[in-house]
Structure 1
Amino acid sequence: MTHSIPTPDPSQTARLPLAEAVDDQVTPFHVDGLDVRGRVVRLGTALDAVMAHHAYPPLVKRLLGEAVALTVLLGSTLKISGRFILQTRTDGPVDLLVVDFTAPQDVRAYARFNTERLQAMQAALTPGQRLDSGALLGAGHLAMTIDQGLSANRYQGIVALEGGNLEDAAHRYFAQSEQIPTRVRLAVAEEVHPGDAASSWRAGGLMVQFLPTEGGRIRPVDLHPGDAPEGTELPEAAEGDDAWMEAQSLVGTLEDVELVDGDLSAERLLFRLFHERGVRVFQAENVVAKCSCSRERVTGVLANFSREERESLVEDGKVVVTCEFCGRSYDFKAEEIVGPEEPEASSDEA
């Protein structure tokens, strides 16, 4: 399955970029002069709502914000209803990340971390040094799954995490699984408010993909070099195309503060980057923090457990299940989950 940004509606009207910055939206765009399509995501209150159910330390919030921004960028490209799930399993102090995007707009997320390891890493930092997402994750793998429901097979791409950040992982995913020249930028910032008000978080991301209409301009990625020395770099698709090189150079000028600036609209950001080539923007799509858990879904999950497993969940005559994403608890009577007691087998007397 090709996972690329769909071609937007060609209808357009020339105008100046909107000055008003709007959070919790994804803005699709197209730069005709460079054969580049892309998306910009800006997250504000939705990101705070996603993280509100857990007492995450700031380092974990920053990492989870990057993961949410990346997942929304990718999940919002789904052409049909379905789910896009990003999940990491690693040996770092944050050993599990799960971000679940249900098209067209719902997102939820969860992170599992080791407090002692985080504190030890922070204590070892030199003044001015900052832990990036690669250090927090460590080594392991990142899986990206597209689930289109019962009507279609699930598609999953997996890339190794070896100390690199989430941007690096996204680039490897597209190079290996999709073979679409892609660049991703992610940024997260904490906003500290005056007085006793709690701080809030913002995240931003930009993805550009090189999808020329002229055939033959994208050279297929070569197969793995086999017995070549470890660390050999694979040739990159479209490496020598002038348009793609220019697009990458422009994206390279983007600073983190521009991605998370609450006073800079997505349209003005895109105008800054691509105004010389002309950029078309399309209808923005909303992003909402919303969990998809329900009593019926929890019941369905428990039904897949064996009777012995369900019995082990019973405490004080009931079963309590708490959603890791939103913190909501569901209480069940033991007989609802385990079922009636099974009669003891009897043997006929001789």
Structure 2
Amino acid sequence: MTSHTQSHSRSPESRSPAAEAVDDRVTPFHVDGLDVRGRVVRLGTSLDAVLAHHNYPAPVKRLLGEAVALTVLLGSTLKIAGRFILQTRTDGPVDLLVVDFTAPQDVRAYARFDAEKVAAIEAAGTAFDSGALLGHGHLAMTIDQGLSVNRYQGVVALEGGGLEAAAHQYFAQSEQIPTRVRLAVAEEVRPGGAASSWRAGGLMVQFLPTEGGRIRPADLHPGDAPEGTEIPEVVEDDAWVEVQSLVGTLEDVELVDADLSSERLLFRLFHERGVRVFETEGVVAKCSCSRERVMNVLAGFSREERESLVEDGKVTVTCEFCGRSYGFKAEEVVGPEEPDSPVQ
């Protein structure tokens, strides 16, 4: 494995992969011999902190853990101030997922679920299936750079598949960059009845050759074209075929192994081709809610809507992400009473 220095004017020096595994970090990397770049994310205490705000059953924790890992992989690529938001709306037992990543490191998340339907899945004792939990609907990925810049949003259909499949569809449809994503979540059961903890890991690789013409996206399906219409076959580049084969050997346990460092994981996969790692980036579970932000949201409601929120002379708003409650006096939210209109 080779390390990367800030100076590009000299060749990076080779070294052995770091043995120490560090959680809550993103490790960017390049494999020059295969023309791919990518990222590895390992989440530990940050994921526990996100999950601790709500009493989620185990299948929901696993699904939300996958969503957090995927969002961090994608959101951490932002090189500008802004937010990356992943959101699903579906007809499944978990009908809403929202993960909000604020560059460069803050993440928060929330899941809404039908407790009875999730309990039925748990009782059935079947293997974890993120597609079954999500059902059918859509997944939206949004980049929000603030009021001065228009939002960018990509939307893909969820048709019974999981988040990995949705990510692949997103990149094929919106970015047209050959991409492979692997996600894994595991529960660490501690001895003596101590509370368990959760871990998540993810890997994303993208094929970005410097030579033109090596990326040939498949043509769109001909739809209602006459029967027998020939659909051109796209031959994938040999380097990308090799990458997919290597990523296919990756096991879930390797992504969540607390004793396996991200660098050693990358060395296992790509040592024959040479892999360069870059400076790691931190991940912190942190909610961006505040009293001021909540008041600004309430100010956007109509007077009638604000009045409907008043109970016993006050308004209470609870953040769905972190569970923190904010209390306001009725006059703070509704404003002073409007004078009666004069009788004409």
**TM-score range normalised by the length of the shorter chain:** over 0.9
Provide the rounded CA distance (Å) in 2 between the counterparts of 1:183 and 1:121.
28
Q: Specify the alignment match of 1:3 in structure 2.
A: none
Q: Specify the alignment match of 1:179 in structure 2.
A: 176
Deviation string, structure 1 residues 194-234 (Cα, Å, up to 9, x no partner): 0121000000000000000111111134234222699x9x8
Provide the rounded CA distance (Å) in 1 between the counterparts of 2:327 and 2:226.
56
Would you say the 8 A contact 2:26–2:39 is kept in 1? Answer: yes
Q: Specify the alignment match of 1:4 in structure 2.
A: none
TM-aligned CA deviation for residue 9 of structure 1: 6.8
Q: In the alignment, does 2:293 pair up with 1:297? A: yes
Q: Specify the alignment match of 1:190 in structure 2.
A: 187
Percent identical among aligned pairs is 83
TM-aligned CA deviation for residue 306 of structure 1: 0.5
TM-aligned CA deviation for residue 236 of structure 1: 8.6
Q: Specify the alignment match of 2:276 in structure 1.
A: 280
Matched to 2:186, the amino acid is A
Q: In the alignment, does 2:75 pair up with 1:75? A: yes
Report how many aligned residue pairs link the two structures.
335
TM-aligned CA deviation for residue 122 of structure 1: 2.8
TM-aligned CA deviation for residue 109 of structure 1: 0.1
TM-aligned CA deviation for residue 151 of structure 1: 2.2
Would you say the 8 A contact 1:179–1:221 is kept in 2? Answer: no
Label 1:236 to 1:313 Cα distance change in 2 as closer, same or farther (>3 A): farther
Would you say the 8 A contact 2:106–2:287 is kept in 1? Answer: yes
- Provide structure 1 residue ranges, at least 5 long, that are not aligned to the other structure: 1-7
Q: In the alignment, does 2:243 pair up with 1:243? A: no
Would you say the 8 A contact 2:216–2:236 is kept in 1? Answer: no
Provide the rounded CA distance (Å) in 2 between the counterparts of 1:338 and 1:235.
62
RMSD: 1.8
Q: In the alignment, does 2:213 pair up with 1:212? A: no
Q: Which is worse superposed, 160-169 or 114-123?
A: 114-123
Deviation string, structure 1 residues 167-194 (Cα, Å, up to 9, x no partner): 0000000000100000000000000000
Q: In the alignment, does 2:158 pair up with 1:161? A: yes
Would you say the 8 A contact 1:92–1:139 is kept in 2? Answer: yes
Q: Specify the alignment match of 2:3 in structure 1.
A: none
Q: Specify the alignment match of 1:19 in structure 2.
A: 19
Deviation string, structure 1 residues 21-43 (Cα, Å, up to 9, x no partner): 00000000000000000000000
Provide the rounded CA distance (Å) in 2 between the counterparts of 1:223 and 1:87.
26
Matched to 2:296, the amino acid is G
Provide the rounded CA distance (Å) in 2 between the counterparts of 1:257 and 1:236.
35
Q: Specify the alignment match of 1:271 in structure 2.
A: 267
Would you say the 8 A contact 2:89–2:95 is kept in 1? Answer: yes
Matched to 1:278, the amino acid is G
Provide the rounded CA distance (Å) in 1 between the counterparts of 2:63 and 2:257.
18
Would you say the 8 A contact 2:19–2:260 is kept in 1? Answer: yes
Would you say the 8 A contact 1:40–1:205 is kept in 2? Answer: yes
State the TM-score, normalizing by the size of structure 2: 0.94
Provide the rounded CA distance (Å) in 1 between the counterparts of 2:25 and 2:17.
16
State the TM-score, normalizing by the size of structure 1: 0.92
Label 1:325 to 1:203 Cα distance change in 2 as closer, same or farther (>3 A): same
Label 1:226 to 1:99 Cα distance change in 2 as closer, same or farther (>3 A): same
Label 1:100 to 1:199 Cα distance change in 2 as closer, same or farther (>3 A): same
- Provide structure 2 residue ranges, at least 5 long, that are not aligned to the other structure: 1-5
